[in-house]
Chain A
Amino acid sequence: MRTLIQNGTIVDPANGIEARRELLIADGKVVEVLPQGQQPDADRVIDATGLLVCPGFIDVHVGVREPGFDEDETIASATAAALAGGFTSIAALPDTNPVVDNRGSAEFVKRQAERANNCRVFPLGAVTKGTRGEELAEIGQLVEADAVAFTDAKSPIANAEVMRRALEYTGMFDRPILHHSMVPELSDTGVMHEGFQSTRLGLRGIPAAANDIMTGRDIALAELTGGRVHIMCVNTQETVERIRLAQGRTVAVSADVTPHHLLLTDEVMDSFDTLFKCNPPLRSQEHIDALIEGLKDGTIAVISSDHQPLAIEKKDVDLDSAPFGICGLETTLALCVKALIQPAHLSWSQLVACLTTGPAALLGIPHGTLSPDVAADVTLVDPIEEWTIDAASFRSRSRNTPFNGWKVTGRVVTTIVNGEVRHSTRA
């Protein structure tokens, strides 16, 4: 089966292409990117006039919530949501019940993903048993079960000795640790950024220092051990600066940022709306400005939705009782356009790189590019389509987005996995 995607603008940062080209795929793989106007024989032609033809997007940490929390999400619904958001590969967080801290649990994730037959799912293994931060999980066996990286999800590994050993041990397999870098003693019971707004509202704050201190520690341990540490959901000015300096010393530290941390400040909390409650918290404008600078200079090379689906009854409570998290897979691209493309902070190539080559390099997976012979995972984007975010139409089982009703620009119209169209907004 040969498919020609024609008349589109190919955006393939891995190969430095952002130009009108034709893309030929066959038997689930990319054949080649052809000069504009060439029309090789094809069984099927997809007209991409006015569209961007990108490598399939990759999300490096997604809450799939199965097993254990099926009321929030399942692997089937998470992967359907991923396709709608243009993601052809996702890495599944291990904070399920049971935790993915052993081979059997990782195999289950893979099996459910095969059954769903939506997008690719790569298991993330827990760093420690039960994500309790005490004893190392069976990392070697998780690697054999195709865990691409390790993380304790939203549980910080507070004990520096445990983190040190984890970095040494995962280093044997050249796998990174994705860390929620937060000092628990400083963040305990906090629900928002600590600053003037938290003082005004009487809500417990989480100081930026809680992230800054732990990130500093993680960088020092990466330097000590030679292990790879990736800071999830970077959200403070100082953290960006510390990562930038460490990268300058060639420490193996990387970072990602979420769209919501780029678009929302802590001022939104005066609605007391639990939909804004996320971890790490939404911070103030100077932190957002630093995050954008970090994206512009490449300090932050990955954008993640940090998809945290939660059933409506869990969020429909008071702020202290509500769990943290925002449902993000289906809104990521449009929110990135709003935060980064429309204000001209990033080019389309730079944005697509944060959704493709950056994540692929972090996870060490052979995706995120349109090079010949790689799997034909392709996302077609209409960069100027205007639409309104409607949580009720999410493929995800959950609706916990603070962006419901936002008018946005830029939409994923078609998602292709292994050469097959798995999602399309067009008949």
Chain B
Amino acid sequence: MELKGIAASAGYALGHVCFLKEISNDFAATVLPEQREAERERFLAAQVKARLALEELKEKAAKTMGAHQAEVFAAHQMMLEDPTLMEGIFEKIDSASASAEAAVSETVETIAAMFSAMNDDYMRERAADIKDIGLRLLRILQGIEDAAAYQGILAAQDLLPSDTASLDLDKVFGFVTALGGKTSHSSILARAAGIPAVVGLGAQLAELKDGDMLIVDGHAGSVLVNPAQEVIEEYRLRQQREKQLAARLAEIAHLPSVTTDGYEVELAANIGTPENMTKAVAAGAEGVGLFRTEFLFLDKTSVPTEEEQYQAYKTVLEALPKGKIVIRTLDAGGDKQLSFIGGLKEENPALGLRAIRLCLVYRDVFKTQLRALLRAGVHGNLHIMFPMIATLEELRTAKSLLQEAAAELTAEGVVHRKDVPVGIMVEVPAAAMLADELAQEVAFFSIGTNDLVQYTMAADRMNEHVATLSDYFQPPVIRLIGQVAKAAERHGKWVGMCGEMAGDVLSTPLLLGLGLTELSMNARSIPLVKYRVRQLQQTDAKELAEQVLKLSTASAIKAALENFSTRFAD
């Protein structure tokens, strides 16, 4: 039997299925009056266990996921012992002889409903926190084992953040879930941990029985149930080949990324928090091509201080003291709302006040960031990058604010870097068309393909109905990239790319042929891209690029690239 789902995380996993035990809803709603005292005791015992589990999660999160996640669990701990929650629960047990389960779930529902009804996005999201606490208590009350005990291929309706945080990832080697998509929490975690996963199986999940032998094909998005012996052999072989390739990739991890005819490309990492640096360095990143600074700002109730930002930037710069570190200034607005600015209601947020546009309005916020960047600049090879520049005026205003920040620091006698190279992200067609003029006033370009595709094709990148348009192999996108690269070359500036396309090994020869000299991607993609770069000849890549620029459909372009890459089949 074969089940079809969504390929959420690549790789093959073979093993027995093990179901995440779900909470049962058919617990007794009430108990006898004389059992009230016992129910109170059951709740208090569950609360103690939950507190200890959260304490453990908090410590684990602080080490592996960063301070922010740890803060979330600390907040959960506080809520767990909150008098409103406890009074609600005791009241239900005492006055209505509710069972501990019923008292917990009703009280949590009431509180969650209160948060959900509030006129504030931030507060509405707190409903999820209280529900998570409720589920944790219910599990303990129902004697459901801790997620850390699971082994094999884990099957579940969906995985909660607190489930996945407590799994022992040395014992769980695949996920299959009924719900979720490529960007759901469980998928992101699976990819980060390198565990094959197929999600979105829907009702098909019910076909599985505890102990079934499964093959999870994270490339094809399929799950084979109790396959024949020869199929198992075949997949073991594929798994082995994948491991061999991984071993070869590990061998070249720290060799230079240079083509057989000597064209050097810098492979850099995209990172979201300073903690990501460890992985980036391990994957062989020579630098950071995109450090998204949003994590400092999103979910925060106040503007992060200059000192807080300085420390974060310094950490990243010091992790790769010689590598080039491109830090992007605050890219918020649109789908990334800042709670301290307040809900900005826009008809078309993607076309509204976001990225550099937002920063040029909230200048205090921007200036604080620029000051922190300049101060951190003395600790490494800092490059500053402005997102979503569309006009020369925007660039000039942003640069003059940077100069103001530097002048302030000088006047205050604060140590800072004076010669930080400044570049822009090219992610709107306007910037690509103005590339010649912009190139004269920047040190570099970095092409942000995700937004460039969205704005060139006028197709929302999150909208599945227009997914075929949202494709970086669409000819207009490729041509704009070529145009930007040419403009940069004419003015002696370097040009890189950050975004999905940079990490797609199929596009590597094309990007080199177009003249890009830096590719920045998720750390996990670096080894394979480097492997490909080292097999390539730049002269061939140039020929390929010239041919591709003449093609007029995305499918023709993809076919040409696939055809080209067959010569590297290993």
Physical interaction between A and B: no
B-to-A contact residues, CB < 8 Å: none
Residues of chain A touching chain B, judged by Cβ–Cβ distance below 8 Å, are none
